[in-house]
Structure 1
Amino acid sequence: MSLKAIIFDFDGLIMDTETPWYYAFRDIYQEHGVELSLSLWSRNVGTNFDEFNPFHYLEEALQTPIDHDHIKELSEQKYAVYIGEAGLLPGVAELLASVKQRNLHLAVASSSTRDWVHSYLKKLGIFEAFDVIHTSEDVGRVKPDPELYQLTLARLGIDASEAIVFEDSPNGLKAAKAAGIRCIVVPNEVTRDLEFLNFDQRLASIAEFDLEAL
């Protein structure tokens, strides 16, 4: 079947929000005399805190309760500093324009919250580019479960073979493949050393992707 849609993850793919979050919590852990390894943090990349909860882990490491609200506020302050004036990752704007020129559908399927994804897409000026945007509130199970992608395909009215997914994490890759969709992985600083299996193509940047050749 012919290609009808491109489906994007959001965090770490359209915009690198993941590295600043890691840096924020890494700093907080260091201030408490605890190391937060990248391999440990990466367990929750592309999914939720079920696999690794940084608040609970810090309590376990310190063997004492912590003020969750204070740590959350502190992490948000540090995140804001690290994210700075970050914008679209390389190649994203060009790919969105190229997809629209070919009258293909564009969609976002993210394990993050609706407010988080919508606010950033609007801030980046690309909210209206997407025909479908699905987030954690739309499903019972987030990635690596395929439900987000299955819902997106149903909403677009297309078959899995008619779409391509762009993902930056193994959890996202697992979700896409479980839904039967071709997946191109574009790892970022947080995910590049993780194990990616069964992907269709791996790129260092979306700027490397050639839609015309596809």
Structure 2
Amino acid sequence: MLGFFKPRERLAVAFGPPAARVDVPHSDIEIDELFSGYLRAYESAWRAFPDALPLLRSLRASGHRIGLLTNGTEAQQLAKLRRTGLFDAFDVVCTSERIGFAKPEARAFAVFTSELGVEPAACLFVGDDPMKDADGARAAGM
């Protein structure tokens, strides 16, 4: 199991003890409503950095292949890329849900580089999590 949560499980983890003093509803309907409100707010906040698309286009124009490896779910990550206008900037998008492995596991990076069509040693991986991204990429030979 890759650790994906259903809405009710996610709320229990986020708001349950010992987190902040938030009363989590007990009925499934109330929990679903609470999560739906959270999800709407989360999705409405999706934005790309202003320089992201020009940078990705410049890299591709220079002959580089561009890929994305994420531990997010397939539907959500693809929706995020479409909403932010970044979807077409990538040659490959690998979600841990689709490939069956999550970062920092070396197999996730191996599938990613295979789909991207590059050798791990020829790949520069950029991420925001030192352990999952940087350590995982190094362990995979990037």
Higher relative contact order structure (alpha carbons within 8 Å, sequence separation ≥ 6) = 1
Aligned partner of 2:78 in structure 1 is: 118
Provide Cα deviations, 1:86-139, integer angstroms capped at 9, x if missing partner. Answer: 421243112112112102101111111111111121222221221111112223
Deviation at 1:153, TM superposition (A): 0.7
TM-score (norm 1): 0.51
For the pair 1:172 / 2:133, whether they are aligned, the reply is yes
Length, aligned pairs only:
133
Please give the root-mean-square deviation of Cα atoms over the aligned residues, in Å: 3.1
C-alpha distance 74-57 of structure 1, shift in aligned 2 (>3 A) = closer
Q: Which runs of 5 or more structure 2 residues have no equivalent in the other structure?
A: none
Q: Which runs of 5 or more structure 1 residues have no equivalent in the other structure?
A: 1-46, 182-214
Deviation at 1:154, TM superposition (A): 1.0
Q: Give, in whole Å, the separation in 2 of the partners of 1:69 and 1:145.
A: 36
Provide Cα deviations, 1:168-213, integer angstroms capped at 9, x if missing partner. Answer: 11322232222121xxxxxxxxxxxxxxxxxxxxxxxxxxxxxxxx
Identity of aligned residues (%): 23
Contact 1:114 1:137 in 2 (8 A): yes
Letter of the aligned partner of 1:178 in structure 2? Answer: A
TM-score (norm 2): 0.73
Letter of the aligned partner of 2:135 in structure 1? Answer: K
Which of 8, 12, 17 is equivalent to 1:55?
12
Letter of the aligned partner of 2:107 in structure 1? Answer: E
Deviation at 1:71, TM superposition (A): 3.5
Aligned partner of 1:139 in structure 2 is: 99
Letter of the aligned partner of 1:55 in structure 2? Answer: A
Contact 1:110 1:135 in 2 (8 A): yes
Q: List structure 1 runs of 4+ shifted beyond 6 angstroms.
A: none
